[in-house]
Structure 1
Amino acid sequence: MDRTPAIQSGIPGDHDDSKSFDNNFNGDPLLKKNSVQRNYGAIPVPPLGEEETKEEGPNRYLKVPYNRNDNFIGREDSLGRIHKTVGNGEHVRLALHGLGGIGKTQVAIEYVYRQADRRSVFWVRGNDFLRFSEDFRGILPYAKISHRIAANEERESLKTVRDWFESPVSGDWVLVIDGADNEADYNSENSPISEFLPQGPKGTVLFTTRSLRVAERQGCKIIEIGKISEDGARALFLSRLESSKCFSEADKKALTLILRSLDHLPLALVGAVSLMREESMSPSEYWDKFKEKSEERKLLPSKPRNIQREVDMTENVLNTYFLTFDQLKEQMPFAADILRLLAFFDHNQIPVKLLEQSNLDGAHSEGSLDDAIGKLIGLSLVINGKDRAGRPVYELHRLVQHSIQEYLSEEEASRWKNKALEVIWRLFPHYKHELLQECADYLPHALAVTENLTSPMAEEVCFRMALYLKEAAHPDSAEAQIRRCIKLREQSSGSSIWWGLRRFFRYITSPLRTTKYGAEYWSRIALLASILLELGHPEEAEVEYRRAVRGRAKALGTNHPDTLSSINGLAVALHSQGRYEEAEKLYRSALEGREIVLKHGHRDILESVAFLGEVLEFQEKHEEAEVLCRRALEGRREVLGPYHPDTIETSFHLASALKGQGKHSEAEVLYRRVLEAFEKALWQDDSRTLLIIHKIAEALQDGKRMTFTEAEALNRRIYERCEKALGAEHQLTRASMNNLAESLRDQGKYHEAAVTAQLAAEILEEKEGPDHPDMPMILYNLTQMLQDEGKYDEAEVSSRRIVKFYEKILGPDHPGTLVGHSILAAVLRDQERYDEAEEMLRDALKNMEKVLGPEDPDTLEAVDSLAFVLQREGRYDEAEILHLRALKGREKVLGEHATDTLTSLWRLANLYEKCGQGADADDAYRNGPGRAAFDDKEVSGRV
């Protein structure tokens, strides 16, 4: 294969920037060799809940979190419009738009239940990205896609689900995005949720939304869900009232007045009829009480309200709920307290444990909680349901929740919100892997209760949320929470009496941990640093890690495990920036400290040993790297097991250290062990796994440790698994596609190779644009393959794109631009445009000698290319001088057996043969270095 160092995949930090253009997966730190970020925590997808069914065949799946309403009334016209809009199997986006409480979700539920016998149905919460992500990733098991997703793979897993929807294997489906009201999540194709919603060519995406802007920006056909008719409202009302046959004339008149007062709003009507049923009220009795409540509220001072938030609630809607709350408070105070508490959690999927552990009066009375919940359900204030794991949860409609908050005085609202915060503070755990699902259950409620609160309790809950969010693949949200946590800690005045007493007693036993800037504060800074590192911001992470190291050393001591953890984190941040010598010193410091304070074989010790071995290998200190990698590998096999990702990755770095010492056979054994684990699916398909396998394949190919046929088979498997796990547009998928093209070329499958390379270029340009740093490498390989096919005009187009790219990005005199001219000259040579090729090569060579030096591999490549052009022109004497210069330079710089050296030797021998110097040609063929390599198809195919 032609060697073009200036545009081949390189290692950041290994070469001076003036000599190498880094296109080694730019933009994704996970795909750079000097990146050492790790987080292998897996996100378990809960089992199917009781409301989900899955039958044989592609279209028999129903995932809806709500039961079907047996009393669905008054919306057949809306259902008819949906059926008419969906049409005959083409991709459709439609939105059910209307006010809160108008019945959008009920219409969507009825529609999908009617579709369930013909199409797969998926229901996803769309009110914020965290809930959307949880529900969307829950589709992975049904799609039969491996769902052990590493913590830094959230976006990739969401893209995988999107790609599955768009693929033929998903069949016909309906995807409901319920509660798509937050415009920031949907305002463009790159918005947090919009990015992952499937496009054509099939399937139906059904939004329920209060925002007309969301519907329009998503390109939806809009179906307005408006007020139901008076007849429909009356039918809905009477269907839920058992005594409707005994109505007096006064009752019938009152019923008409009630329906009009509540503006035919289904949610409010259900609330009113539920109170009448529970309290055995007639419509006239209810109407009298309703009027009393209205008059009473007119006499009260007006209360400021968030009009934008509560625009769907009229005064009459509030009055009907206030009447229900009054009745509840008089008859069952404990149920009223439960309702007040529920008002300050998130209104969706409230776990029963939050109520069981609330410590409210009456909570421990026999049957009191069940009785209270039963009462709230009977009044249609609370909906009971089950989560994905089949556990009981409760929900409030958004309007019911806001009505409760409006009902309470400011003092009461503050007290109950702090009560809800206290419950979350007691129950939300410090993250452990086995508590991941518990954290996930409480997260929405923790977010709700900490909103606008600044107390120390809120600060502590923010910290725990950040810990969980980091491990659960939400690094952006984790950063937001930890920054808020730090801000609250820095602004804390300790004015809370309760919190002040708590800190006083803790101060007696551990003063360093209770001050505002003590160890707890520095733990928050360290967490911020680790999140920044995971987000791919090593420079910012370095700043925060340095703060954490200084603060923890002062508060806890230099050899405290937390301090050593921050030192190690700082080393990782430097390592990720390619600052290997600085990182090495810190890794050694962390290792020395950990060996003093931790037990032999502790995972943190093994981590430091492994990281130190890696950074030494990156510096080509292969002997010492081998010693450390062997130690880390032995320990990790014992502690973590032979197939743990950390163990496998250490095997990979040990193999690299062995390869760097020329111990190719030993390295090959380790490389193949990793491949064996990969082939047997013993390691999950995340980007780090696939990157390691990708690099192993490259190492085995470069070292001639496998045949061209084996290389093609391996590269094809890597490409297929990358495409399935990461998506067709992922950087690593493109790289594996490019490697597959090269292995096809090695076997002389030139057309298939060119088609594959062309596809890689098209995907990259469509996804990232024509100026992405990976583009020259792909275009270079494409140019070679088109030359192999004899398609010189097309090869000229692609090679000129390389030159244009480098001139635009790097300037006319940059080495990359000069090499681009050399590539173009080779195409002109093949077109027999020798004068143009010679002129271009002489100009490039002149500048290369100045910028790079006469013995730089790129300079020698230009020398050999110019010699070959002169040889083609029959100018053998000039060509011989240049061939000899290229050969001697390559033997010195690259070694006698390097592919480029052998190419120069072959071309020189070929020149002697052409000009009739048979003895010299025979001597070059038979006695030159690497004689056996002349039979290598790769070398002979270049001449």
Structure 2
Amino acid sequence: MSESRTPAPSGNGTARQTVTISFAGFNRAWAAWIGDRLERRGLRVVYLRWDAPPDQPLTGLLRDLTLAEGRTLIVVSEWYFQLGPRTHDEWNAALREVVGADPGRFAAVSVTNAPLPSAVAALAPVDLTNMGADEAERRLMDRLDLPHDTRHGDDPGRPAPRFPAAMPDVWGGVPRRNTRFTGREPLLNDAYHLLQGSDPGAGVLTLHGMSGVGKTQLAAEYVYRFGSEYDVVWWVNAEKRVSYRRLLAELAPKLGLSTGAEYGERLRAVRDALRRGTPYSRWLLVLDGADEPDQIWDLVPTGPGHVLITSRNPEWSEHNSKLLEVPVYGRDESVAFIRRRAPRLTEPDADQLAQALEDLPLLLDQTAGWLNDSDLSVEEYIALLDGGIDQDVVKVSADFPLAFQTAWSILLNKLRETVPESVDLLRLCTFFAPGFIPVRLLKEMNHDDLPEQLAGLLDDPLLWNRAVNQLRQYSVVRLESHEATLDEAVASGESVYLHRMVHQIVHKDMPEADRKEFIEVVRRALAEADPGRPTDTRNWDAYAEIVPHLKYADVLRSKDRRVQGLVLNCLRYMLFAGEYTAGVNLGGRALATWRELLGESHPRVWEVTYHYANLLRSAGRFQETEAIDRAAREQLRAERGEHDLDHLRMAGGLAADLRELGQYDAALELDQWLYPTYRELFGEHDSRTLNAQNNLGFTLRLLGRYEQARGFDTRTLEARRQLLKGRHPWTLFSEVSYAVDLRLLGRYAEAESIQAKNVREYRIVMGPDNQNTLRAEHNLALCRLRGGDRAGAGELLTRVLEGLERKLGDSHTHTLAAAVSQSCFAREHGDIDQAREASESVLARYELLLPEGHPFIIGARANHALVLRSVGERDHAHVLIEQSLADMSAALGETHPYALGCAVNAAALRNLVGDTEAAADLSQITILRATDTLGRTHPLTLTARVAYAADLRALRDRQQAEKVEQEALADLAATLGPQHVHTISARSRNRPYWDFEPQAS
């Protein structure tokens, strides 16, 4: 609440014309009474509800109060200091610093007897508890140095809020105040303004929401917070018409009405008195648990007062009531509530529990209460809850007296009695995942051969609408329909939201016969929703919707071929969409279950083995995948022969594993057999042949045979463009491969042109966060860097690395490749300390992921040697690069581009440590090897030639150095252009270095 009111000018000469009242929402009634007392004396009052977000410094928040005009009056209570929450030590430090520096700006009143931070003494609060209104007013005026003239307080034409310690004239049935009540400030304010702003006779508001969401608690807090503005507060249980009539009629004698003993007569008298506003016009009637508006709407009083209703049923809107939905807690509210209920829990513990219980207040209260008395960790307790909520693992409190499971069992019985089909629909929902449930899939499926119990529900739109409406009216589910009106939402039943604990209780409460029938219906619905073609990105939204429900429908136990086909398609979707972890989990379970269900050598078992291995490999678990693929290949070759399709697929998978493990020659041997075999069996343009051709090109690139790789990648790209759409994912993938080849061959401008277009297409087709889009952007960044656009390259490298870390984690090969590039860029164009930290981190992650001796580990060490050189650790850098050169030569051969690059850097370090002859010898032989492998004008060869000129100058062979340098400069200008950054750098005699770049598949 933040508001100000300016009264008419006062002639009493009051020095301070403005007072800002800072108060906790819990103490709103005190703030309203104090403000009224001050305004009647001509002061301007500003109300500031105190909020203390835990992420903001307490000192700064308190200092903000000094910005208010005039004096700040703090309403001191334990609630003021619990908001946050913060320790008393934190409060003491902040109060001493802010209030102690300027005590005259602050005043305080105390409305509590609870222990408070000791530094509250700086506020010199005056105690207003345990006394009458007159004495409290006198103390307030004395604290503010104002005259205590009671004449100013008398204004019969202006209604005054009641003194908070005084009860309304009529008070009945109100539950005790919940001293652990947390948050809900916006809801309370909305409720207050909706009622206060209503026209006479229309002050009816319904707080609606699911069972356990805290509607009754919110209504009770409303009564205590705003009750001082009413003369009558009457609370009735409105679950049944008969009890409602009796409880409302009992108000008659409290109002002093002369009636007989008959309830009907008393009820009429009460309604008439409330309507006329006599003897009281400021009345508040709370109807708690009014879930059946049709039963009691005609008995809801009208008049100048207000009616506050709590209900699971939003149908009250049809009976002239405003609606205010009570959602579950916000996460910050949940955490604060749990920590009050269970002080032993830390903030992360509370957050974890709140997430598991989806922030439902009743569950938070009862589980946190139990957990506070237990030695279990939150993780252990959540695992216990997953087995089902029962009385043994919750603690019922006075504030939430009905156990969650009991409350829902009562509700389910009520649903069975009214619209039994609604319970059938609810049970069907429990074979989907909790949360958002696409029940439209049930309506869209083929309804032939449905169980008789469900045929009527799914075939009859009217019965369906009744069932959905019944669940909605009791707030069992929440309707979710995009851009639809309420009626349309009911009719379409697009999706509903079901809380996970309700889901659990309903699922547990189901007869076994229903369980067997209902699960098959949901399995069929999911299978019929399979759009097919998981490689088509237009179908990914559909698969993303289906995947979460596979576990709950236990699809892996189904022998239906359509359901099994759905599982396989979902695995392929997960592979292409980059959902590797979830895919590995599903694939592993599917493989184990189908081996048991179908037999070890069933065709579906081999198919799921292939998809599972692909996902494992994509997740970086290369050694596991290699063992699976090798065993499967050997078994299939022995049983079916080399040309069996399953054997060929597993052989292709094994080749991919060998590539990832750095065994490039062994992978090439397999790829050179697979490609012609596929071509002979299926033809040049079959997708399987093209995949094998693509893989062969990639292996050749890893072996440093860039021109050969470009030839295969060119043919693959042209065939895919011809056979598939230009924006097909495989076509786009081939474009990246071709652009990488061009860049590695030194054709930077051509590579960047192709890659920029490809990135635009990827963003359209796959989205900006897909791992393949990020892979394409990584190559574009490197093209820009090689082309001299350092700023554009640096910005894109940062975005790519952040995107891959979010999507794949920080230890995936794609992420590590981007981290290598970022580290090299930071070394040359950024923060060397950041570069060193990144380089060490990359190296450590590679060493955990890959076997020792892998080219990527060696290359990362070679890069790290350059970082050490840049920070002045020359000897360490020299030892490391010499070891990297030896290891890379042993792993891939002396003429591989990786070994040649290590040699370029080793020569530079030899020169730097003074071994100039050895440096020149290494540079000279590197030029010969690079020329033979890559050509005279390849960028790596040119790098070696420029470096050799520097070595010759160090040997004082200036004539030969000049000759080598000029020839290199001429070739650089002819190849890259006279103004290219590499040409300009060489012309300035900056010694070039080589950056290792891992090629991630």
Give the TM-score taking structure 2 as reference length: 0.49
Query: Letter of the aligned partner of 1:925 in structure 2?
Result: E
Query: Letter of the aligned partner of 2:422 in structure 1?
Result: A
Maintained 8 Å contact 2:616/2:622: yes
Q: CA deviation digits over 1:229-267, x for unaligned, max 9? A: 69689989768989997435798999xxxxxxxxxxxxx
Match of 2:551, SS state, is helix
Q: Is 2:967 aligned against 1:930?
A: yes
Structure 1 pair 239/529, CA: closer, same or farther in 2 (3 Å)? Answer: same
Separation in 2, partners of 1:438, 1:659: 37
Question: Which residue of the partner structure matches residue 495 of structure 2?
Answer: 393
Separation in 2, partners of 1:740, 1:455: 52
Question: Which residue of the partner structure matches residue 596 of structure 2?
Answer: 491
Q: Is 2:883 aligned against 1:815?
A: yes
Question: Which one of the candidate residues 269, 273, 286 is aligned to 2:290?
Answer: 273
Maintained 8 Å contact 2:946/2:986: no
Q: CA deviation digits over 1:619-672, x for unaligned, max 9? A: 344565444223112112223455656445535545666788x7x66x753454
Separation in 1, partners of 2:599, 2:593: 14
Question: Which residue of the partner structure matches residue 637 of structure 1?
Answer: 721
Structure 1 pair 388/726, CA: closer, same or farther in 2 (3 Å)? Answer: farther
Structure 1 pair 378/574, CA: closer, same or farther in 2 (3 Å)? Answer: same
Q: Is 2:835 aligned against 1:760?
A: yes
Structure 1 pair 725/559, CA: closer, same or farther in 2 (3 Å)? Answer: same
Separation in 2, partners of 1:374, 1:440: 27
Separation in 2, partners of 1:229, 1:818: 76
Q: CA deviation digits over 1:273-309, x for unaligned, max 9? A: 32585699999xxxxxxxxxxxxxxxxxxx9975567
Q: Is 2:732 aligned against 1:673?
A: no
Separation in 2, partners of 1:887, 1:462: 56
Tell me the CA shift for residue 601 of structure 1: 2.7
Separation in 2, partners of 1:765, 1:91: 35
Q: 5+ residue gaps in structure 2? A: 1-23, 32-47, 59-82, 86-177, 192-208, 228-232, 253-262, 264-285, 301-386, 848-856, 888-898, 973-982, 992-1001
Q: Superposition pairs for residues 35-74 of structure 1, below 5 Å?
A: none
Query: Letter of the aligned partner of 2:496 in structure 1?
Result: Y
Structure 1 pair 909/579, CA: closer, same or farther in 2 (3 Å)? Answer: closer
Question: Which residue of the partner structure matches residue 527 of structure 1?
Answer: 611
Separation in 1, partners of 2:964, 2:576: 61
Tell me the CA shift for residue 522 of structure 1: 1.3
Question: Which one of the candidate residues 567, 582, 597 is aligned to 2:666?
Answer: 582
Separation in 2, partners of 1:781, 1:388: 57
Q: CA deviation digits over 1:537-562, x for unaligned, max 9? A: 22212222334445666887754555
Separation in 2, partners of 1:596, 1:270: 80
Separation in 2, partners of 1:926, 1:349: 73
Question: Which residue of the partner structure matches residue 3 of structure 2?
Answer: none
Tell me the CA shift for residue 447 of structure 1: 2.5
Question: Which residue of the partner structure matches residue 429 of structure 1?
Answer: 530
Separation in 2, partners of 1:602, 1:440: 29
RMSD between superposed Cα atoms in Å: 5.9
Separation in 1, partners of 2:431, 2:189: 31
Tell me the CA shift for residue 577 of structure 1: 1.9
Query: Letter of the aligned partner of 1:930 in structure 2?
Result: E
Query: Letter of the aligned partner of 2:437 in structure 1?
Result: I
Q: Superposition pairs for residues 381-420 of structure 1, below 5 Å?
A: 381-386=476-481, 392-398=494-500, 400-405=502-507, 407-408=509-510, 411=512, 414-415=515-516, 418=519
Tell me the CA shift for residue 610 of structure 1: 1.6
Match of 2:550, SS state, is helix
Question: Which residue of the partner structure matches residue 542 of structure 1?
Answer: 626
Q: Is 2:790 aligned against 1:712?
A: yes
Query: Letter of the aligned partner of 2:883 in structure 1?
Result: P
Question: Which residue of the partner structure matches residue 734 of structure 2?
Answer: 650
Maintained 8 Å contact 1:741/1:756: yes
Maintained 8 Å contact 1:79/1:111: no
Separation in 2, partners of 1:112, 1:530: 55
Tell me the CA shift for residue 353 of structure 1: 2.1
Q: CA deviation digits over 1:193-225, x for unaligned, max 9? A: xxxxxxxxxxxxxxx999xxxxxxxxxxxxxx8
Structure 1 pair 636/412, CA: closer, same or farther in 2 (3 Å)? Answer: closer
Match of 1:384, SS state, is strand
Match of 2:456, SS state, is coil
Structure 1 pair 365/472, CA: closer, same or farther in 2 (3 Å)? Answer: same
Greater RCO (Cα-Cα under 8 Å, separation 6 or more): 1
Q: Percent identity?
A: 15
Separation in 1, partners of 2:26, 2:55: 21
Query: Letter of the aligned partner of 1:719 in structure 2?
Result: L
Query: Letter of the aligned partner of 2:474 in structure 1?
Result: L
Greater shift after overlay, 410-419 or 360-369?
A: 410-419
Structure 1 pair 229/438, CA: closer, same or farther in 2 (3 Å)? Answer: same
Maintained 8 Å contact 1:541/1:573: yes
Question: Which residue of the partner structure matches residue 350 of structure 1?
Answer: 437
Query: Letter of the aligned partner of 1:476 in structure 2?
Result: T
Maintained 8 Å contact 1:347/1:401: yes
Q: Is 2:579 aligned against 1:478?
A: no
Separation in 2, partners of 1:84, 1:608: 67
Q: Superposition pairs for residues 77-476 of structure 1, below 5 Å?
A: 77=26, 84-87=50-53, 90=56, 107=184, 110=187, 246-247=245-246, 273-274=290-291, 306-307=390-391, 321-356=408-443, 357=445, 359=450, 360-363=454-457, 364-365=459-460, 367-386=462-481, 392-398=494-500, 400-405=502-507, 407-408=509-510, 411=512, 414-415=515-516, 418=519, 421-424=522-525, 426-427=527-528, 429=530, 432-433=533-534, 434-450=538-554, 456=559, 460=564, 466-476=571-581
Tell me the CA shift for residue 576 of structure 1: 1.9
Structure with higher Rg: it is: 2
Separation in 2, partners of 1:780, 1:475: 33
Query: Letter of the aligned partner of 1:393 in structure 2?
Result: S
Q: CA deviation digits over 1:342-393, x for unaligned, max 9? A: 3444342222324435740422235111122223333343332336998732
Separation in 2, partners of 1:766, 1:619: 26
Query: Letter of the aligned partner of 2:550 in structure 1?
Result: A
Separation in 2, partners of 1:520, 1:714: 48
Maintained 8 Å contact 2:942/2:968: no
Maintained 8 Å contact 2:237/2:243: yes
Question: Which residue of the partner structure matches residue 158 of structure 1?
Answer: none
Separation in 2, partners of 1:90, 1:489: 54
Maintained 8 Å contact 2:629/2:651: yes
Structure 1 pair 643/278, CA: closer, same or farther in 2 (3 Å)? Answer: same
Q: CA deviation digits over 1:700-738, x for unaligned, max 9? A: 977xxx5xxx34355345435436745799655654445
Q: Is 2:786 aligned against 1:722?
A: no
Separation in 1, partners of 2:733, 2:420: 60
Query: Letter of the aligned partner of 1:335 in structure 2?
Result: S
Separation in 2, partners of 1:681, 1:528: 26
Match of 2:495, SS state, is strand
Query: Letter of the aligned partner of 2:542 in structure 1?
Result: E
Separation in 1, partners of 2:639, 2:84: 58
Maintained 8 Å contact 1:760/1:778: no
Separation in 2, partners of 1:573, 1:375: 55
Tell me the CA shift for residue 531 of structure 1: 1.0
Give the TM-score taking structure 1 as reference length: 0.52
Number of residues of Structure 1 aligned to a counterpart in Structure 2: 617
Maintained 8 Å contact 1:864/1:904: no
Maintained 8 Å contact 1:574/1:580: yes
Separation in 2, partners of 1:380, 1:696: 52
Q: CA deviation digits over 1:138-190, x for unaligned, max 9? A: xxxxxxxxxxxxxxxxxxxxxxxxxxxxxxxxxxxxxxxx99xxxxxxxxxxx
Q: 5+ residue gaps in structure 1? A: 1-74, 96-100, 115-177, 180-207, 211-224, 255-268, 284-302, 493-513, 746-752, 786-794, 820-851, 869-878, 913-919
Maintained 8 Å contact 2:533/2:569: no
Q: Is 2:686 aligned against 1:605?
A: no
Separation in 1, partners of 2:783, 2:389: 66
Maintained 8 Å contact 1:687/1:732: no
